[in-house]
Amino acid sequence: MKKALVLGAGGFIGGHLVKRLKSEGFWVRGVDLKFHEHAQTKADDFVVGDLRDQKFVRSIFDCRFDEVYQLAADMGGAGYLFTGENDANVMHNSAMINLNVLDASLKRDIKNVFYSSSACIYPTHNQLEPNNPNCAEDSAYPANPDSEYGWEKLFSERLYLSYNRNFDMNCRVGRYHNIFGPNGTWEGGKEKAPAALCRKVAMAKDGAAIEVWGDGLQTRSFLFIDECIEATIRLMRSDVDFPVNIGSDEMISVNDLVKLIASISGKNINIANIAGPEGVRGRNSNNRLITEVLGWAPSQTLRAGMEVTYAWINSQNSQQHNQK
C-alpha cells in the first residue's frame, strides 16, 4: 500500500486532499497544529504538532513516504496578511516549516514532494490594472510581491527547486489562486474573500448592506476546491519541474462577487464600500502553461462552486445562531 504524508491536514485544502488520497487507496498520515475544525479527518493517522520544531518533523517522517504534500503555512485573508502586523511571524513560521520538511525528506530519501505556493508571489507592478493583470508564470521576475507572505512563498519555491537540482528530488510547485469551497475557515479573521462574503450575506437581512473593503472594483479569480485537488495530484505525479498556476481564469470584481452570492442567497443585498486592506488591483490565473503541460483546465463555473460554498456557510451560520 502506498503511503502519503499531508502537512497542513487540519486546514481547508489539506482536509480535502486527505479525503481524495484515501479514496485512491493510500495510507495517509495527516499533521497539523490542530485537528480539522469543520470535518472529521479521514487520515489513518493524525498527529498534532508544530512543524517549526525540527525534532517533531523528523519524528513524523518515520518511513519513506511515496508522496509528501506540504500545505502548511502561517497564512490568512487580507485582514491578516496585508496589515503588516503579522509579517515577522508569517515569514519566520512558514520558512522554518519548509526548511524542516525538506531536511527531513532528504534524510528519508523521499523524492516526491509537492509544495503549495501562491499567486501572491507575482509582482505588484503587473497587477495594477483590474481588468488586465499579468500572472503568467514567467512574469514572477523581477520579483516584487505585494506582501511578506508572497516573498516567503517565492523564497520557498526557490528552496524546493534547489533541492531538485542538488539532491535529485522531484519537488513540484503549484501556485494556488484563491481556493474556495466548503469545510474551510469562514469567520475569525483568517478567512478568504469568498468565505467572508458568503458569511456576510448569510448574516444579513434582506435589503441590508454589507461592507466591502476598497471600492470593490479590484478583480480576482477563484478556484473550487475539487478542481484544486485534481490539479495538485496531476502536478505531483507529472515530470513538470517548474512552478505552474493552479487557478481559474474566470475573473470577477469583488462587487460582482457580492452580487453573485446575493443572487444565490435570494436576498437583495446592498454594498457599502469602506477603507480596508485590499491587496493588488487585479489578479487572474493564467492557465496557458498548465493546460499545455498537464492537459488540465477547470471544468466548473464560479457560480456552481459558490452555490455549494454558500449553502455550507449558511448552514454553519444557522447552526451557530441556533446554539446561542
For 69-128, how does the pLDDT look when each residue is reduced to its tens digit (9 = 90+)?
999 999 877 778 878 889 999 999 999 999 999 999 999 999 999 999 999 999 999 999
pLDDT > 70 in the chain, percent: 100
Tell me what pLDDT residue 324 has.
Answer: 63
Four-CA torsion 73, 2, 163, 284, nearest 10 degrees: -50
Query: What class has domain 3-179+222-246?
Result: alpha beta
pLDDT in tens, 249-271: 999 999 999 999 999 999 999 99
Bridge-partner residues for 114, per DSSP? 69, 172
* Residues shown for the chain: 324
C-alpha to C-alpha distance for 105 and 245, rounded to whole angstroms = 24
Tell me what pLDDT residue 45 has.
Answer: 98
Computed from CA positions of residues 227, 229, 232, 238, in that sequence, does the dihedral angle turn out positive or negative?
negative
The pTM assigned to this predicted structure is 0.95
Of the candidates 51, 55, 31, the one whose C-alpha atom is nearest the C-alpha of residue 43 is 31
Query: Angle of helix 12-23 relative to helix 225-236, nearest 10 degrees?
Result: 60
Tell me what pLDDT residue 83 has.
Answer: 83
Tell me what pLDDT residue 278 has.
Answer: 81
CATH of 181-221+250-285+300-318 among 3.40.228.10, 3.90.25.10, 3.40.50.150, 3.10.20.310: 3.90.25.10
Q: Is residue 149 flagged as an active site residue? A: yes
Q: What are phi and psi of 255, to 5 degrees?
A: -60, -45
DSSP state of 52: T
pLDDT digits (tens), the chain, 324 positions? 999 999 999 999 999 999 999 999 999 999 999 999 898 999 999 999 999 999 999 999 999 999 999 999 998 777 788 788 899 999 999 999 999 999 999 999 999 999 999 999 999 999 999 999 999 999 999 999 999 999 999 999 999 999 999 999 999 999 999 999 999 999 988 788 999 999 999 999 999 999 999 999 999 999 999 999 999 999 999 999 999 999 999 999 999 999 999 999 999 999 999 998 888 999 999 999 999 999 999 999 999 999 999 999 999 999 887 776
Q: What are phi and psi of 194, to 5 degrees?
A: -60, -45
Given 149, 160, 176, 310, the catalytic residue: 149
Spans of all domains in the chain: 3-179+222-246, 181-221+250-285+300-318
